């Protein structure tokens, strides 16, 4: 194996390799030639000092496709963090500025210029469609490189948990003399089910995939607010349609509801 570093190319020898290089994984593109997951999105997050804010700081607020594919806002200590998701190459900075304007116009949220920002590639397709990429041969992929990410685009917890399972698979395989990929896939089964559950609309309606009790929160809303949330969910499903995900997501939810699991053999 060869790697490029600040001092040039370095050659390594190893029995197994764990790829943990994120959404734009070069390891994944090598072991899955021609199967690079598309589309690729970009997420821009900014953190602002608050001047005026009517949003409840106890909640994460989502807006399906107000100006991009998905936008959100939540408290960040005494500041407010904003994020927007859009397909790569579609002017995300301009959309983010429009999002800030819409927050002030529609919700009375006034913010100072951002104190910090982060812009990066994001893969949400594998989690929505339950088509993860755990690796091939002697190479194991973890975290976003394998397609694991939670809403709202939180990937640290899945990177840690799948990375730990990759390490466990390699250690156990070394001790018993078997290939680690088979063990790793077995260890990932529960993790993959939990990750897909969090994106699946059927599980949102009939299950409890998140730490928060979404159904109890929904029932506590007024009838008008419930209608508004229902409309947002419908708009969210429509945003997935151009990528061919809506029908598959609903089908996966039905299988999960009837059998308690997702269909086997859908991983790459």
Pairing between β-strand 110-122 and β-strand 41-52 as defined by DSSP bridges: antiparallel
Domain borders along the chain are 14-37+126-198, 41-122, 200-259
Q: Estimate to the nearest angstrom the gap between the alpha carbon of 220 and the chain centroid.
A: 27
Tokens (6 digits) for 124: 């949400």
Pairing between β-strand 135-136 and β-strand 110-122 as defined by DSSP bridges: unpaired
**Residue 192 three-state SS:** helix
What lies within 8 Å, CB to CB, of 232 at 6+ separation is 62, 63, 64
Check if CATH label 1.10.390.10 holds for domain 14-37+126-198. Answer: no
pTM of this prediction exceeds 0.85: no
Per-residue pLDDT of the chain (268 residues; tens, 9 = 90+): 666 767 778 787 778 888 888 888 888 888 888 877 777 788 888 999 999 888 888 878 887 765 657 888 888 888 999 988 887 766 777 888 888 888 898 889 999 998 888 888 888 889 988 999 998 888 889 999 999 988 777 778 888 888 889 888 888 887 777 788 888 988 888 888 888 888 887 777 666 655 556 667 777 778 887 777 777 777 777 777 778 888 888 888 888 888 888 887 677 7
Backbone angles phi, psi at 168, to 5 degrees: -65, -40
E strands within 53-183? 61-64, 70-76, 79-87, 110-122, 135-136, 139-141
Instruction: Report CA-CA distances (Å) from 123 to 126, 128, 137.
Output: 7, 10, 23
- Classified by CATH at the fold level, domain 41-122 comes out as D-Amino Acid Oxidase; Chain A, domain 2 (3.30.9)
Tokens (6 digits) for 91: 């002017």
């Amino acid at each position: 194996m060869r790697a490029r570093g600040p001092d040039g190319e370095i050659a390594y020898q190893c029995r197994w390799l764990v790829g943990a290089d994120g959404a734009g994984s070069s390891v994944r593109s090598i072991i899955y030639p021609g199967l690079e997951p598309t589309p690729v999105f970009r997420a821009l997050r900014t953190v602002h000092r608050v001047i005026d804010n009517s949003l409840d700081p106890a909640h994460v607020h989502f807006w399906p496709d107000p100006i991009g594919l998905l936008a959100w806002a939540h408290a960040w200590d005494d500041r407010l963090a904003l994020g927007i998701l859009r397909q790569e190459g579609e002017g995300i900075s301009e959309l983010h500025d429009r999002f800030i304007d819409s927050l002030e116009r529609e919700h009375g949220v006034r913010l100072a210029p951002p104190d910090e920002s982060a812009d990066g590639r994001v893969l949400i397709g594998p989690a929505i469609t339950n088509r993860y990429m755990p690796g091939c041969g002697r190479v194991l992929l973890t975290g976003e490189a394998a397609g694991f990410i939670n809403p709202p685009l939180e990937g640290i917890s899945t990177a840690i948990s799948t990375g730990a399972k990759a390490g466990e698979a390699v250690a156990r395989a070394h001790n018993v003399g078997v290939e680690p990929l088979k063990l790793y896939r077995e260890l990932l089964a529960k993790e993959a089910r939990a990750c897909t559950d969090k994106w699946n609309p059927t599980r949102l309606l009939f299950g409890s995939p998140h730490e928060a009790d979404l159904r109890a929160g929904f029932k506590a809303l007024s009838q008008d607010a419930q209608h508004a949330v229902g409309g947002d969910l419908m708009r969210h499903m429509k945003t997935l349609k151009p990528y061919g995900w809506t029908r598959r997501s609903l089908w996966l939810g039905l299988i999960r509801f009837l059998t308690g699991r997702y269909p086997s053999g859908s991983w790459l």
